Each structure stands twice: as C-alpha cells, then as structure tokens.
Structure 1
Amino acid sequence: MLLAVLSGFIFALLLVPFGKVLKGKWSILLSILPLALFIFFLQKIPQVIDGAILERNQWVPQLGINLDFNLDGLSLIFALMITGVGTMVFIYTSYYLKGHVYLDRFFGFLCLFMGAMLGLVLSENLITLFLFWELTSISSFFLIGFNNEDPASRKSALIALSVTGLGGLCLLAAGLVIHGITDSFSIVDMLQSSTMMQDHSFFMAVVCLIFGAAFTKSAQFPFHFWLPGAMKAPTPVSTYLHSATMVKAGIYLLFRLSPAFSGSELWHYSLWCVGGATMVYAAFQTLFRDDLKSILAYSTVSALGILVFLIGLGTEEAMLAGLVFLLVHALYKATLFLMTGIIDHAAHTRNVSELSGLRKVMLPVAVAGFLAALSNAGIPPSFGFIGKDLIYEASLHTGVFPLISTVALVSTNVMLLFAGFLAGVRPFIGPLPTKYKDLQAGSPRLWVPTLILATLCLVIGLAPGLISNSLIAPALVALGIQDYALDLKLWHGFNTVLALSATTIGLGLGLFFLLKPSLNREEQMLKWEKYSPLAFFEGMGSLTFRFSTLWTGMVQNGYLRNYILVILLFLMALIGYGMWGNFHPKIDFTQLLDLTFYETGIMAIMLGAIVFTVFTGSRLTAVAAMGVVGYSLCLLFVFYSAPDLAMTQFAIDTLTVILFVLVLYRLPKYLPFSDSRVRVRDGIVALGFGGMITLLALGVLSDPMVSEVSEYYSANAYKLAKGKNVVNVILVDFRGMDTLVEITVLVIAALGVFGLMKLRLKSRERIR
C-alpha cells in the first residue's frame, strides 16, 4: 500500500522532466495510473471481507510516528471512489484541457492530490493522517487556482487554503491531545480506548477540535462558503474534489472516529445540529442560482450536510444510509459536474436559463444527465432511490427528534431534486436555440466517462448486490457494527418510507415545473451576502490586515535601535516573569572578590573600552573599543586554561572588527540620530538587561553542577569519534550539523558583505 500511496507523488515528480512529451494526444496514457490503482484496490475486496489489512512501515518510531496503513471496509470504499472517479477525470481532462500550455502541470497536481487523498484514507497513524490532510489542502490550492491569471481564481484558492488549513491545525492539535490521553498516535489504539477518551477531562476539547477539522474540510455551515467559491477551478477539478475526494475527507474523519465517540451526547447532537442546518440552508440556496456549477456546488454542500446529519444520528441504520448515500452522491454528482463541463466547453455558458434543447445535439450527454438526475432525485430504479429510502428509514427510527429529522430531510431532498433536474434535465429539454444548432457532444473522451458514471447509477440500483456484501458490509464492520442484517433492494413494499419517497418526488417535480430560473431572484439573494459567513470571514481578514499594517508601522519602522529595543524589552519581560518569586541564588560574594592582579587589570581595560564605546563621537573609535573588549575576553579564557575557546574568540573578534571597519568606512560622518532622552532610555534598558543577565549567571554559578553530560562526552569522545580533544569532537561530531549550520550562516553573511562592497550603483539608482 505504501507504493500505491507514493505512486501519485512519484508520477507528479516524473511529469517535471517528461511532462511535455505527454501534453498532446498521449496525455490519456496518464489515466493508466488511477486505473491501475483502482484495479489494485478492487482485487483486495476478498481479503478485506475476511478482515482489515494492516501494513506497518517504520518512519519515526521514537516518536510513535510511522507510515502505517490500514485497508478495511471504510478505507476501501474511499480508495475505490478516489481511484475510480479519478480514472474518469484523468480521461476527461486529456481532452477537456487539450492544448493547454500547462496541461502537464495540471496532471502533476492531480497526481499529487490523488496520492495525498489515498494516504489520508489509508493512514493508521494520526500524525501521518494530518500530513496527508495538509497535502490535500496544498495540492487543492494549486488545482483551484490553476487559472492563476484570474484574480477570482487566486482569491478562491486562498480562501479554500485558509479555511481548510485552519482545520488542519485543529486536526494536529486533536492528534496531540489524543496522544496525551492514550499514549499513542495509532487510530486503532484510539478506537479501542473509547471509554478512556470519553471519561477524560479533555474529551470536549478533542471533540471540538475534530469538528473544526471535519467541518472546514467538508464545507459545513458556517465554513461552507469556500466550496462555491472553488467553482472558479476548471471542471475536472470541481468534479474530482467536490464529488468523491477532498470534501469527503471530513466525512471520512467523522466516520472513522465515530466508534470512539459514539454514545456521547456532545458528539451526536452537535453533528445533528450542524449537519441539519447545513443541508437545509445549502439546499435552499439552490433555488436562487442559475449557474450550473453554482447549483451543483450548493447541492454538494447540502449532500455533505446530510452525511454529517446521518453520522450524528449514530444508529446502525443511519450509518448504513450514510455509507450508501456516500456512493450515491459520488456517482451522480461526478456525472453532473462532467456534464456541466461538456456544456460549458461547447456552448461557452453555464447559465441554465439560456440553455435548452441540447439533447438534439448532445444525446449521450443528455442521457447521462437524465440518469444522474434520476439518481439525485431518488426515482426508481436508480441507485439514489435505495439511498433515499435508507435515509428516511434511519430518520424515522432514530431517537434524536425523529419527526423534526424526517421533515428536515424531506424538505432538503425536495429542493435537491429541483437542483438535480435543473442541472441534469433542463439544459436538454425544450426547443434548441439557433445559436446552438452546430454544437456537438465533443470527443468520446468527454462523454464516455460521463456516461459510464451515469450508467453505474442505474446498474447498482437494479443490482445492489454488487456492492452489498463486497463494500457496504465490510464498511459496517469497520464502524464497529457486527452481524448487521444487510438487505439492499429496490422494493420493500408499501410503507411509510415509500410514502415519504413519493412525497419527495411529487413535491420536487412540482417545484421544478413551477419555479423557473431567474436572474432577478439570484440578485435578490445576493443582497443578503453582506450578512453571510463569507462576508464575516473577509471582514476579519481585512481587520487583521489593517491591524498588521498598523503594528508593522509601529514596530518595523526601519530603525535598528527600535528593533533591538523591542527584542530586549520582550526578553526582559519574559525572563523577569520566570525569575519573579522563583529566583533564590545562594551567592558567595567572598569568592567573587577573590581576584588576581591580572584579572583586575583586564577588567579595568574592559570597563575603559566600554566607556569609550558609549561616549565616543567616532564610529571607528567605537569599533576599535569593542575590539578591545573582545580581546580582553580572549585573555580571560587564556588565564582559565581554555586556549581553544580563546583562539576561536580571537578569530571572531578580528573578523568582526574588520567587517565593521570596511562597512562603516563608506558611511557618512557620525551623526546623532537621537536626543538625550532617547539615549538615557537606551542606557536604562541596557543596564537593566545587563543586570538581569548578570543575576542569571550568578544564579547558575550558585547551583550545584550537573556533570552527566560532561561525563558522557569525556567517556565517549575517543570511543565513538576517535578524537582526544573533547571540545573539537563535540563541535564536529556530536554537534556536527549545528556547527555546519553556523558555518553556513557565516558564509552567507560574508557573501552578503562582499556583495555590498562590490555594489556600484548609478547615480539615478541611489536613494536620495
């Protein structure tokens, strides 16, 4: 499984040098990757039925972070959706973006995203799940903003990254808190520690953090706004991300963790409320839209709300309904998105009020749209009919407000039926406008994948046994539901559920025939946008930007003196807070006064040099005086038998003095840039900081010495590093990387100084 996950990343890297070869007609060959992965996971079904497949790969075992993958019934469903729909999208893209100058780059982003999604649903470790979670956000940022010359695309990509990135931080925090409770990052261990989790004082924090991750990723209210905005992406992106992959990541997380949180009222009621509000609100929004992708976007948000709502119900029937509807939605929504792309590609418009009669020129596309709309509406014998029946059955038999739940679901499905027929049927019925008489369905690479997905909506509806025991039953086992009497079929007789389905279909069709698309109605809805969550989010962003600008103007004002002042004051406040009430050094001042003649003389020289540095009117004199202070320290190191340290300090001080002289030589004469009050302030801060450091040093000297580290280096310097000089061995072996970084910093600084010295600006380029 590790190779299956990494294959997407490997292909993305290979497209950098070889992508240009595949930019033409050969780009369809790239669909071999998702197809091969689909077949790989398909042939794992018999093994998964017998039990989950756990693959362990060590990564950072000291921290409990490993590339462990778990293929069970739940992850198998998602893996098949990712690779199956991915295959159709890859084939579709090879023609949809044919001739695009950055086609190879687009496929690279798709491969990267597919690998990240597979890693996310297969991960058995919370930290690796988080890493793949963030990789999906990053790769989707590139996909959504693919048309990077369009400001709207860039803005949509940034909003999507900001919202989902915030959720990623919540997931990381949740993983760390869970590790603190269970002492493990393993998801299996966490699920087995359900009682421990729910009894812990941090349980509420964990649940809220998980909600933050799932709700942002799966576009739940009030974080839903990023998904309609992401419709600025090319149609293959909308199809892949918003039918079967990215937006389902949050749903996967809720499904995966539900066994650990099941039974908690906080878990169930929160999901019930948020999912219910999202599905009704988003379905209502579809009544006011006339852009095909906008209609599909809000209907997607509503469908995601239904899934969250079902997980919130938490019963076995609700979980079954959620798993079936997961597949139902992936098939019909991917079909509708691909169909929309074909129409947009040919007619150059997505305005549903302008489209009609396209069945006469796009018959295969019309058939696909009609089948998808049937499944979306839950009309027999489609797969959607089975899914909708299961949803109503779950709502009727739940203990969480069954009447309210059922009414909310019926209302939502009525509006979703309207949206599905508006997108999948309306463009193809009625007379064909003259301007569209020459349109064509396009290449089979466009409509064949669309028709395949639409046909599956019908085939699985007629033969639900294809997925019943092979996919749904193992997924229920993965959710902790054992020995469930699973019986997926079209006909269950005349009952309340059938009456609810018939009511939904009747009201939905009535709404479709009575309510016509209207630009005026959409404009009326847009007047309320200023009160929307998106407006609030953008307002917070604007407020943050203004505050950052003000703060930067105050602190980062171009004066080095102010920068150092802020740093020193912050350190004084931080260290002073730590010392307050906890600092009780036992200092023997008699030992401090036991000075030799040489030490006293050097201290006098240092004090004199410091006075010269502070009060001199010449930069060069100040630099020379600072050099005297440094050399005096070198002599102290010599007196205390540290010649290596003395030589190092000598080299550093010499280099520093030379560099300062070279730089200051070209500056204008010494000018006072501050008045006496500023200098007094700086002097007080300097004395305060110096005094605090002195107290810290005295406190360290008064504490008993801990020699374990010194003894370790002394005992192992020669044994492990074959060196007799312990200090040298520490620098070049035990702390070799640290030393390398320090050397690199010095080299970069030297190159910078050299560049400044060699810089020769023309008079018009100089700042006046």
Structure 2
Amino acid sequence: MDGTALTCLTLFLPFLGALLAPWLTRRMGHNAAWVLALVPAAIFLHFIGFSAEVADGGIVTGGYRWVPSLDVGFYWLIDGLSLTFALLISGIGTLIVLYAGGYLKGHKQQGRFLSFLLMFMGAMLGLVISDSFLMLFVYWELTSITSFLLIGFDHTRQAARRAALQALVVTGGGGLFLLAGLLLIWNITGTTQFSTLFAMAPQLKESPLYLAALLLVLGGAFTKSAQFPFHIWLPNAMEAPTPVSAYLHSATMVKAGVYLLMRLNPAMGGTPEWQTILPVVGGTTLLIGALLAVRQTDLKLMLAYTTMASLGLLVLLTGFGSPHAIEAAVLYLVAHALFKGALFMIAGIIDHETGTRDIRKLGGLRRAMPITFAAAIAAALSMAGLPPFLGFLAKEEIYYALGRFDAWSVVFAAIAILGNALMFAVAFAIALKPFLGAKVETPKPAHEGPLLLWIGPAVLSLKGLAMAALAGLTHHLVSTPMASAIAGEPRLVEISLVPHLGVPLGLSVVTVVLGVLIYRNLDRLRALLAGVLADIGWGPDRGFDQAMRGLVGFSFRLTQRLQTGRFDDYMTVTFIALAVVLFATPFVFGEMPRPPVFPKDVPWHELAIMAIAAVGLVTVVLAKDRLTAIVSLGIQGFAVAVIFLLYGAPDLSFTQFMIETLVVVILALVMTRLKVYKTDHRPFRQTLPDATIAAACGLGLCLLLLTVTQSPFDTTLSDFFNLHSQAIAHGANVVNVIIVDFRGTDTLGEIAVVMIAALAILSLVRLRAGSMTTRMADNDPDAGEGSA
C-alpha cells in the first residue's frame, strides 16, 4: 500500500473504530477500551513516521481529486503544524479512550459513548490534516455535530441538552462565517488549497475584500475557540462526561480555531488588522476567563474557564506580531494540551472516587489517592509555569516575546502577567486543596482509581517533564517545525531549562509572587467576584437564552403570517411568482421571441389533432362539472401524445398516453372520495384574478417555448449520445440508453421517489380504511353481540 492510500486509510480509521465500538463493548465490557485504543495508537504511529522528514523542513502533501474543474479534492497537508496537532489528537486520544473505559465502566451506553468519541477524533484529525478548503469545512462542521452528541450524551438531563444545543448553535453558526470567508478567499486568489494559498499572500492582503474575508474567518475561529463573547458554550459543555471534557479541552475542538489562525497566519497575518484584532480579543478573553475561573468552586468549571483564558493567550500570541510570539504560542499550545488533559482527568478521578467535584467539600485525599496526587502536582507545576516542566519554557518564551518597552507590549505583558498569575492560583487550588489538610467526609469513600483512570494523567504529566528535560530534541522534532509552518519562514526555537537573567525571568518571578498572593486569598477573591457578577446580573449566557427565545418567537410569528394553512394561497403565490419570472426575464434582457410564422402546407391530420386539443381546452374552461373538466383535460394530453407519435417519438408518445390515462383515472377516483362541490362555486371577484394568473402563466410559458424553438439548436449532446449509445451501453434505442445508463442514477432516484409516494399513499388509504371500519363498528349496536 502506497503512502497516499495509507494516509487516507488512517484518516478513516477512527470512523471504522466507531462502527465497531458498540459491538466490542457488548462483547468485552469496559475491556473493549484496550482494543479500541489501538485505533488512535496506530494513527499516532503512522504520523510519527513523518517526524524526521518534517523536522528537516519537508512538507508532505497528497490526496485525491474530486471535482478537477473547480479544483476541489480530498487533499491533505502534513507540515510542522498539522503533524503536531495530529500527534496530540491521536496520542492524547489513546489515553482518553482508555480513561473512558474506566470512567464509564458498567454504563449501559458505554459503547455508544466510545463510538461518538472516535467519530469526534476522526473529525478533528481530518480538520487539522486538510489542505482543501472544502475538506476543512466538512470536518469543521463534523466536529460541531460530534461534539453535540458527546456534550448531550446524558440526554435525559435538560442541562446536558441545553449545553449541547448551545455548543452546536454557536460553533455551527461560526462555521457558516468560516464557509463564507473561505469562499471569499477562493474568489480573491483563485485557489482552494492552503499549500498554494501561502504563495498568494500579497494578492490576498492587498485585496479590498481582505478585511471582509478576515472578519468572516475570525468569526469561525473565535466561536470555535471560545473567544469572548462567544465563550458561553465552553463552560456549559462541562455537562458532558469528564473524558469528553479532557479531550475537548486538551487537544481537540477548542483548539480548532487556534489551529485555523495559525494555519492562515502566513497568508493573512502581519497586517495591522490582524495584529490589532487578535491581541485585543485574545487579551480580553484571557483576563475574563482567568477571573471567572477563580470565581468557580467546581473543579471542571475552574479548569474550563482556565482553558478559555489559555485560548485567549494563544490568540493573543498568534496575532501579536513580535519576534518569538509564534514560538511562545507553539510551546504554550503543546504544554497546555499536556497539563490540561491531565488535570481534567484528575478532576474526573476525584469525582468518580469521591462523588463530588466541589472544591469546598474536598480535603485530605493525599493518603487515599497518592498516584492521583502526584500526577496533579506535576500537571499543576507545568500549568503554573514552574521548572522543570514544559510550561516553564512556554512562560519564559511568552515573556520574551512580550517583554519589550513600547506601550503596546507593556499593556499586553501586564495582561499576560495577571492572567498567568490567576491561572497559577487555580492550578494549585486544584492540585493542593482536595489532597491536603484535614480529611473531609465525601459522598463516597475515597480511594485510588483503577489503572485505566490514572494511567492517562500520569503519562501526560511525565510527558511534560520529559519534553522540558529533552528540550533540544523537543525543539528539533516539534517546536521548530511547527513555528516555521506558522510563520511561513524558518524559525529556530532554542530555549532550555537553564534560567537566564533578564526581563523574562523577572516577569516570571512577578507572576509567581502574584500567583501565591492570589492563592492565599482565593476565598476572599472568589466572594468579591461573586458579588460583582451578581451586581452585573446579565451576561452572554443569559443573552443566548434570550436570543433563542426571540428567534423562536419571530419564527413563529413569521410562519403564522406566511403559512396560512390554505392550499389555494400557496398555489396562488407560486403561480404569481412563476408568471413574474416568465415575463420579467425576457423584458429585462430583451429576449422577447419573434412572432411565429405558420406554414401554409400543414397536413390535414395534424390540423385535426390541433383542433381536438383546442376543443379539449375550450371544454375544460366551459365544463359545468369537475368530472367533465378532468376528462377534457385528458383530451389535450392525448392530442400531444399523438403529435409526439407523428414526429417520430413513439416511446415518448407511449409514455404520454400512459401518464394521461393514469392522471384522468386517479383524479376521477380522488374526486369521488373528496367532499367537494361538483361545480366551481367561486364568485366572479375570485374567478377573475385566478383566470388572470392562469392566463399569464400560460402566455409566459408560450413565450418561453417560442424563445427556445427560435434559438439555434446545439447538437453536441445529441451527437455524443448517438455516437456512444451503442458503443458504450450496447443499446440501439438512444432514449432508453440515456434513461437507463447515462442517467441511471437519476432514473433510480425518480423510481425511489415514486415508490416512497406510493407507500405513503398506501399507508393513508389503509389508515382511512381502518378508521372507517372502526367507526362502522362503533355505530353498529349489534357488533359487540356478533363478536361475542
């Protein structure tokens, strides 16, 4: 199997695993997680095989063409950025699948959950590997759909359903903005692939449509990565089971927006708009997220809001534009994936083994849960930016990028210091408060979790330590290739654990001191923030509910106005629109047909057929009852069928005969079943407008047919079918070959539609017959005695 086919198979492997997950879980129980974890593990091994080539500056592309004329295909791009994301998604995904096996042990829907999880993994993997605009958008929306299924997994709870719907509305709506932005970029540059877009960066940036394209793309990125004020779905997504939260916040959906910004940085970055909007929105999100994290007492909500803050920091760095800002974003993204995944799983272990996530009701768990405690300390040290963990390297690089002395840098450096200090306090609150102090009685007797639960956080915590200790190897394989891909030019990352005196180290010390002060006064700060939020009252989350209620109310009123429930109203509007289109188009474009010229030597039998059709038309108009009108209508159809026959189309004529016969019979049967007047009882004031509309439609269609017949006949298709019908399809009857072979799928669809309609009619007839039988039995006083 060649590399292209193997990569394609790898992209579809999670969906294959999703199909097998329910069956495996029924057979093996929670042990199925060990088997299903082989899916992301195999993906990880496949992509790690590209590490050496990508580290040497190589880029791997491949895929399959779909619509060549539109340059649309299933293409992928593997460089430092996409490879790092693919390894995070598959590597952390392996641990999450194992963790889910232990966390949902004994749950009757565990198979369904693992299936959703693997589908989500496949969607995210396809998103980050995509080179095609269309491929990225399809996977982008698929992440929204699969996250909806995961967040609303416990669909019996209203809170879970609301959270799932909110996430779908916000991120799905952002996806529509992204689609519009990608289409606009395609219109500006003429390309639909990222690998060729980067060379067209000057053309894109100089376009007058650049700002519109940028705002549309940012709409997609900001909603996906929970930037203020689109962050509301992220904390509410904590209604999902903890494995979802750990995966969603560490390596997948919430980083999709950040990934998109990093991917587009070479093509759209470096402009004043980019370097203004991203830092401002990112800095605002960082501060608000960190403050809201301090306000919480639920472990998962504390982590959720720090994720929001971290995403803001990543957006800030991606758009800041100073030297080393991209390198700082790369290091922080990887470090965050490791420590946040570990901390979420630790919060899940605490909840699973004690029965509560409320930090105020936890304490003294260190002896009962020593492995969890050790993993929590390691992850918290990395989140706090302390050595010897990868988070320390990231924080030093952040301050190296922001630590300049112009006003712009000073403002955002201060924002970063305050945000990092708040997250420092939250990290140690999660890692220390549940484990230290006096033993607190919990709803469940506390004990260490099983292997499937703690193996994930232990591996991720140690990974954060190992990557910092082996910084040279980390930079060679991960940081430098990723930073180079984002910057669009070679970048070298060299930072190590050896501290260097200077501004970055000084800002780190300020952060630690401020973080310790916040940690020691956490309860008072929490109470203060609670009071401030209570005074503010209204917020984006409540605004979402109000917006949804307003949308539903507006839709209801609009539907009441437009959908009157009367079929004749709908028909009237439809035919008025048809008449307007038929007349407006030729008048606007000057395409009125020439007056027809009637030949003088028309055979008498053709004139007779036309006369029969005219008689049928007059009879329809003047008929005194509906049955006569129906039969007269069939006369016109039969006359047309004879004309087809005379002009050498016997198969078409036969079809017309059959259809007209069936129409007359069916309409006659329907009329006998419906309770309608035998004659038309409409008053003249209603008949006149209806007749006018009918005449306008008829005349408009007549003008259209005259225009078509007066246009030069293009024989291209006719020549093609005549030439190939027998050679390719082995059929002498060209019409039959077109229907059965060249338009086989279309014909199959038509047959399917007819079959569905027939089944629906059959169901209605049987339902009507059953109800009539029931009514007859109810009205028959002897029916009960006869039954007895």
The interval holding the TM-score normalised by the smaller chain is over 0.9
RMSD (CA atoms):
2.7
What is the match of residue 36 of structure 1? 42
Tell me, yes or no, if structure 1 residue 762 matches structure 2 residue 767. no
Looking at structure 1, the residues matched to 681 and 519 of structure 2 have their Cα atoms a distance apart, in angstroms, of 75
Q: 1:577 to 1:427 in 2, by over 3 A?
A: farther
Looking at structure 2, the residues matched to 207 and 47 of structure 1 have their Cα atoms a distance apart, in angstroms, of 32
What is the match of residue 693 of structure 1? 701
Q: What SS does the corresponding residue of 2:343 show, helix, strand or coil?
A: helix
Q: What is the CA distance between 1:649 and its match in structure 2?
A: 0.8
Q: What is the CA distance between 1:653 and its match in structure 2?
A: 0.9
Q: What is the CA distance between 1:192 and its match in structure 2?
A: 1.5
What is the match of residue 786 of structure 2? none
Aligned match for 1:751, one of 729, 734, 759: 759
Looking at structure 1, the residues matched to 569 and 714 of structure 2 have their Cα atoms a distance apart, in angstroms, of 39
Matched letter for residue 755 of structure 1:
S
Looking at structure 2, the residues matched to 437 and 625 of structure 1 have their Cα atoms a distance apart, in angstroms, of 83
Looking at structure 1, the residues matched to 535 and 719 of structure 2 have their Cα atoms a distance apart, in angstroms, of 71
What is the match of residue 22 of structure 1? 28
Aligned match for 2:204, one of 194, 197, 207: 197
For structure 1, the 5+ residue unaligned runs are: none
Aligned match for 2:544, one of 519, 537, 540: 537
CA contact (8 A) 2:163 2:233 kept: yes
**TM-superposition CA deviations, 1:592-636 (whole Å, max 9, x none):** 898665555545544544455456564433322222222222233
Looking at structure 1, the residues matched to 117 and 173 of structure 2 have their Cα atoms a distance apart, in angstroms, of 23
TM-score with structure 2 setting the length: 0.91
Q: What is the CA distance between 1:237 and its match in structure 2?
A: 0.1
What is the match of residue 265 of structure 1? 272
Aligned match for 2:714, one of 682, 706, 720: 706
What is the match of residue 647 of structure 1? 654
Looking at structure 1, the residues matched to 681 and 554 of structure 2 have their Cα atoms a distance apart, in angstroms, of 28
Q: 1:688 to 1:533 in 2, by over 3 A?
A: farther
Matched letter for residue 250 of structure 1:
G
Looking at structure 1, the residues matched to 605 and 454 of structure 2 have their Cα atoms a distance apart, in angstroms, of 92
Q: What SS does the corresponding residue of 1:488 show, helix, strand or coil?
A: coil
* Residue correspondence of structure 1 range 402-551 to structure 2 within 5 A: 402-435=409-442, 438-480=445-487, 482=489, 484-516=491-523, 524=531, 527=534, 531-551=538-558
Q: 1:754 to 1:214 in 2, by over 3 A?
A: same
Q: What SS does the corresponding residue of 1:70 show, helix, strand or coil?
A: strand
**TM-superposition CA deviations, 1:120-168 (whole Å, max 9, x none):** 1122222212222222222111111111111211121122122222222
For structure 2, the 5+ residue unaligned runs are: 1-6, 776-788
Aligned match for 2:235, one of 217, 228, 251: 228
Q: Percent same amino acid at aligned positions?
A: 37
Looking at structure 2, the residues matched to 430 and 307 of structure 1 have their Cα atoms a distance apart, in angstroms, of 35
Tell me, yes or no, if structure 1 residue 115 matches structure 2 residue 122. yes
Q: 1:481 to 1:188 in 2, by over 3 A?
A: closer
Q: 1:706 to 1:38 in 2, by over 3 A?
A: closer
Larger displacement relative to structure 2 (695-704 or 650-659): 695-704
Aligned match for 1:401, one of 386, 403, 408: 408
Q: 1:543 to 1:580 in 2, by over 3 A?
A: farther
What is the match of residue 723 of structure 1? 731
Tell me, yes or no, if structure 1 residue 177 matches structure 2 residue 184. yes
* Residue correspondence of structure 1 range 356-395 to structure 2 within 5 A: 356-395=363-402
Q: What SS does the corresponding residue of 1:430 show, helix, strand or coil?
A: coil
What is the match of residue 656 of structure 1? 663
Looking at structure 2, the residues matched to 24 and 409 of structure 1 have their Cα atoms a distance apart, in angstroms, of 43
Looking at structure 1, the residues matched to 644 and 42 of structure 2 have their Cα atoms a distance apart, in angstroms, of 68
Looking at structure 2, the residues matched to 140 and 673 of structure 1 have their Cα atoms a distance apart, in angstroms, of 57
Matched letter for residue 735 of structure 2:
V
Aligned length: 767
Q: 1:329 to 1:594 in 2, by over 3 A?
A: farther
Q: 1:278 to 1:135 in 2, by over 3 A?
A: same
**TM-superposition CA deviations, 1:487-542 (whole Å, max 9, x none):** 22123333222221111111121112113179866764664786433333333322
Looking at structure 1, the residues matched to 725 and 470 of structure 2 have their Cα atoms a distance apart, in angstroms, of 72
Larger displacement relative to structure 2 (727-736 or 666-675): 666-675
Q: What is the CA distance between 1:343 and its match in structure 2?
A: 1.3
Looking at structure 1, the residues matched to 407 and 635 of structure 2 have their Cα atoms a distance apart, in angstroms, of 80
Aligned match for 1:51, one of 44, 50, 57: 57
What is the match of residue 4 of structure 1? 10
Q: 1:695 to 1:536 in 2, by over 3 A?
A: farther
Matched letter for residue 48 of structure 2:
L
Q: What SS does the corresponding residue of 1:386 show, helix, strand or coil?
A: helix
Larger displacement relative to structure 2 (642-651 or 747-756): 747-756
Q: 1:752 to 1:660 in 2, by over 3 A?
A: farther
Looking at structure 2, the residues matched to 615 and 276 of structure 1 have their Cα atoms a distance apart, in angstroms, of 77
Larger displacement relative to structure 2 (421-430 or 616-625): 616-625
CA contact (8 A) 1:251 1:308 kept: yes
CA contact (8 A) 2:322 2:402 kept: no
Matched letter for residue 66 of structure 1:
G
Q: What SS does the corresponding residue of 2:523 show, helix, strand or coil?
A: coil
Q: What is the CA distance between 1:390 and its match in structure 2?
A: 0.9
CA contact (8 A) 1:322 1:391 kept: yes
What is the match of residue 159 of structure 1? 166
Q: What SS does the corresponding residue of 1:200 show, helix, strand or coil?
A: coil
Matched letter for residue 771 of structure 2:
K
Matched letter for residue 441 of structure 2:
T
Looking at structure 1, the residues matched to 622 and 394 of structure 2 have their Cα atoms a distance apart, in angstroms, of 84
What is the match of residue 569 of structure 1? 576
* Residue correspondence of structure 1 range 606-685 to structure 2 within 5 A: 606-614=613-621, 616=623, 618-670=625-677, 675-685=683-693
Q: What SS does the corresponding residue of 1:489 show, helix, strand or coil?
A: coil
* Residue correspondence of structure 1 range 726-745 to structure 2 within 5 A: 726-745=734-753
Tell me, yes or no, if structure 1 residue 101 matches structure 2 residue 101. no
What is the match of residue 133 of structure 1? 140
Q: What is the CA distance between 1:354 and its match in structure 2?
A: 1.9
Q: What SS does the corresponding residue of 1:130 show, helix, strand or coil?
A: helix
Aligned match for 1:300, one of 291, 299, 307: 307
Aligned match for 2:353, one of 324, 332, 346: 346
Looking at structure 2, the residues matched to 236 and 320 of structure 1 have their Cα atoms a distance apart, in angstroms, of 30
Matched letter for residue 762 of structure 1:
S
Looking at structure 1, the residues matched to 746 and 335 of structure 2 have their Cα atoms a distance apart, in angstroms, of 55
Looking at structure 2, the residues matched to 318 and 103 of structure 1 have their Cα atoms a distance apart, in angstroms, of 42
Q: What is the CA distance between 1:339 and its match in structure 2?
A: 1.0
